[in-house]
Amino acid sequence: HSVLSQPPSVSGAPGQRVTISCTGNGSNIGAGYDAHWYRHVSGSAPKLIIYENTKRALGVPDRISGSKSDTSVYLAISGLQAEDEAHYYCQSFDNSLSGAVVFGGGTTLTV
Amino acid sequence: QVQLLESGPGLVRPSETLSLTCSVSGTSLSRYYWSWIRQPPGRGPEWIGHIHYLGTTTYNSALMSRVTISLDTAKNEFSLKLTSLTAADTAVYYCAQYGSYLYWGQGTLVTVSS
Q: Do A44 and B98 touch (CB under 8 A)?
A: no
Question: What is the residue-wise DSSP string for A33-49?
Answer: ---EEEEE-TTS--EEE
Q: How many Cα atoms occupy the beta-carbon half-sphere of A91 within 13 Å?
A: 27
Does residue B102 belong to the interface with chain A, where contact is any CB pair within 8 Å?
Answer: yes
Could you tell me if A51 lies within 8 Å of chain B, comparing CB atoms? yes
Task: Give every CB contact of residue B63 below 8 A, 6+ residues apart in sequence.
Answer: B48, B49, B82
Check whether B20 has a pLDDT greater than 90.
yes
pLDDT score, position A28: 95
User: Which residue, among A20, A38, A19, A18, has the nearest Cα to A92 in the 3D structure?
Assistant: A38
Question: How far is it, in rounded angstroms, from Cα A24 to Cα A106?
Answer: 13
Q: How many residues are recorded in chain B?
A: 114
Q: Does B94 touch chain A (CB under 8 A)?
A: yes
State how far the Cα of A53 lies from the Cα of A37, in Å rounded to an integer. Answer: 8
Contacts of B65 in chain A (CB under 8 A): none
Contact B91, B25 (CB under 8 A): no
Name the residue facing A100 among B45, B47, B102 (closest C-beta): B47
B35 touches chain A (CB under 8 A): yes
Tell which residue, A36, A4, A44, A49, has the closest CA to residue A22: A4
**In chain A, what is the straight-line distance between the N-terminal and C-terminal CA atoms, in Å?**
26
Single-letter amino acid, residue A110:
T
Per-10-residue mean pLDDT, chain A, length 111? 93 97 96 96 94 97 96 98 97 84 96 96
Tell me A84's DSSP state: G
Window 74-103 of A: residues touching B by CB (8 A cutoff) are: 89, 91, 97-103
Chain B residues touching A46 at Cβ < 8 A: 45, 94, 102, 104
What's the pLDDT score for residue A98? 62
Q: Taking CB atoms and an 8 Å limit, are B102 and A48 in contact across chains? A: yes
Please name which of B5, B46, B24, B34 lies closest in space to residue B99, comparing C-alpha atoms: B34
* CB spacing of B101 vs A91 below 8 angstroms: yes
Average pLDDT rounded to a whole number, residues B47-55? 94
Question: What's the rounded mean pLDDT across residues B34-51?
Answer: 94
8 Å CB contact of A101 and B35: yes
